[in-house]
Amino acid sequence: MAPGRGNARLAFRVVALIGGALHVVPIVFLSLSVASATDRIHVVHNTAGVALFTCVIGFGWILAAIRPERMIAPFQAATLGVLAVVIASVISADPQGGSITVAIGIVLLALHPARALLFRMGRTAPAPLALASLAAVPAVGFALSNASIQRNGMPMDPHVQMHHWTGMVAFALGAVLVAVVAGLGGPNRRLMAIATGFAAVLFGGMSLAYSTYPGAVSMPWAIGCLLWGVALAGDGYRMAREPAADTASEGARA
C-alpha cells in the first residue's frame, strides 16, 4: 500500500471512529428522558434520534472504521442516513439540524479508501425492497407532517429549538433508504437490516409506551412500525444464515 493511501485510510478510520462515538451520545439523551420526569417530553423524539443517528449512522461508521473495504453496506447505509438528514433539514427549513452529522459524512465520503465500491449494487434481496416500498408512502407523509411542524412551530417551543421535528423527518426517510441498502447494498448488508429493524421496533415500542408524548404515532402506526422492523431484522438474520445473500456482486468483490 502506498504511503499516501495508507495515511488516507488511517485518517478515514480515525474520523469514522470519532464520528461513530459522537453518535452514541443520543443514547444518553434518551436515557435521561426516560429517567427524568422533567425531560420526558422529549422521550419519543430522543428515541427517533437513537434510531437514526446511533443505530444507523453511528453504527455504520464504526463498522466501516474497523474494516473499510468489507463493511461497504454499513457505510452505504450511514451515507444514506446522512442524506436523509440533509433532506430533512431542507424541507424543514432548519439548516442547523444535523449539521455536524452532515459535515462528518462529507469528510468520510471523501476519505473512504474503497469509494468505487460504494456505488456498486449487490445481489437483489426482494424482502427488504418490498418493505421499503411498503413504508415509502407513509414515511413520506409522516416526514412532510413533521417538517411542517418544524417550519411553522413557535420559535420558543423547545422541540423546535432542539430540531426534534427535523430529526423525526430524518428518521422516517432514513429507515426507508436503509431498507433499500439492505435490498441492493454491498457486503454485510445483513447488519444494517438488523440494526434498522431494531430501530423501527424501538420507535414503535416507545410510541406505544409513551403514546401521549409529543412525536408518538398512533397505536395502529406504532404496531405497523414494530411489525415492519421485525420483518426487516428477521430478513437480516436470514441473510446471516445464507452467506451468498449477504455479499455483493462478483464485480464488487473483485
pLDDT at 3: 53
d(CA 18, CA 41): 29
Contact 213, 40 (CB under 8 A): yes
**pLDDT values of the chain reduced to their tens digit, one per residue, 254 residues:** 555 567 889 999 999 999 999 999 999 999 999 999 999 999 999 999 999 999 999 999 999 999 999 999 999 999 999 999 999 999 999 998 899 999 999 999 999 999 889 988 888 899 999 999 999 999 999 999 999 999 999 989 999 999 999 999 999 999 999 999 999 988 899 999 999 999 999 999 999 999 999 999 999 999 999 999 999 999 999 887 776 556 554 334 43
Contact 169, 150 (CB under 8 A): yes
**b or e along 104-127 (b: 16 or more beta carbons within 10 Å of the residue's beta carbon)?**
bbeebeebbbbeebbebebbebeb
d(CA 170, CA 164): 10
pLDDT at 187: 85
d(CA 124, CA 119): 14
d(CA 48, CA 30): 9
Count the neighbouring beta carbons within 10 Å of the beta carbon of residue 53. 28
Residue 232 in grid coordinates:
426487516
pLDDT at 164: 96
pLDDT at 186: 83
pLDDT at 93: 95
Closest CA to 213 of 29, 85, 34, 50: 34
- pTM of the prediction? 0.91
d(CA 218, CA 226): 12
d(CA 24, CA 47): 12
